[in-house]
Each structure stands twice: as structure tokens, then as C-alpha cells.
Structure 1
């Protein structure tokens, strides 16, 4: 249950951050990439693996967000 909340919180952060991308095409691509990652792993049931995926997702999201900030997009 707690992992589900963490996954949903990560998804909400991604959606909120991508909403501020001015270029609609880039915004759509970022969301599609994130959604594909979530969909790819939706059947994972091992708690340790879920924790790993959440951590990996946060790291990738932070990297993407910092890259967009540094390039002036966000």
C-alpha cells in the first residue's frame, strides 16, 4: 500500500513538472516516455524490485528535470 502511494506520488510529480514545459510536443513526449516506463513495470510484485524501480524513477526524473532547467525549458 505504501509503495503504491510512492508510485502515485512520483507520477503526480512527473505530470506536474511536465505541465510547465511550454513545447506541447516535448511535453507529450516526456509524458509518453514516463507512462511507458510505468506500464512496462506495472506487473512487478516483488517489494524490493518495486523499491528499486521507484528509486530509479526518481533519479531519472530528477536528472530530466535538472536538464530541462539547465537548458532553460523549465
Structure 2
């Protein structure tokens, strides 16, 4: 298999890694969409920076079990934020 431009020099992802990557991206997008409900722009920007920093902190994680744990934690935290922090519109 010939590497594409996007992954030259990087090994191909396994199916599990590919699926987990998609789950992480989906979770990140959900968090960012949730911040749209914050009416105060400086607070919204601060929350987005916090979310970005949190996701960046674990960017190099490669252990599939650890990634599953992190995704589960992110999901629980998202549900808490969604139900308690922001009003549902």
C-alpha cells in the first residue's frame, strides 16, 4: 500500500485506532458545539481553550485501553456539562 500525502512517513492506522480516532474527533466536536450555548463570548473562548488543551494533553496517547478510559471519562463529563451547566434550548 502506497502512503498518501496525509500520512507519509507514518504507519497506517489499525482498524481499532481508526475507529477510536473518529470517536475522539466526534467527542471534540460535541464539546465545541456545546460551547455555542455560552452567551458570554470571553467565557465561551475560555471554555474552548480549556477543551482544546485537555484534548491536546492526551494527543500522543497510543494505548487503546487508556484511550477507551479517556473517552468514557469525556462522555461522562460531557453529559454532566450538558445537563447541569448550560440551559437546553
TM (norm. structure 2) is 0.73
Could you tell me how far apart the structure 1 residues matched to 2:57 and 2:39 are?
27
Which 4+ runs in 1 deviate beyond 4 A? none
Let me know the Cα RMSD of the aligned residues. 1.6
**Tell me, what secondary structure is at the counterpart of 1:20?**
coil
Q: Which has the larger radius of gyration?
A: 2
**Tell me, what secondary structure is at the counterpart of 2:39?**
coil
1:24 equivalent in structure 2? 41
1:4 aligns with 2:21: yes
1:35 aligns with 2:35: no
1:58 equivalent in structure 2? 75
**Once the two structures are superposed, what CA deviation does each residue of 1:26-45 show, in whole Å capped at 9, x if it has no partner?**
11121111111101000100
**Tell me, what secondary structure is at the counterpart of 1:61?**
helix
Q: Normalized per residue, which structure has more helix?
A: 1
Greater RCO (CA < 8 Å, at least 6 residues apart): 1
TM (norm. structure 1) is 0.86
Gaps of 5+ in 1: none
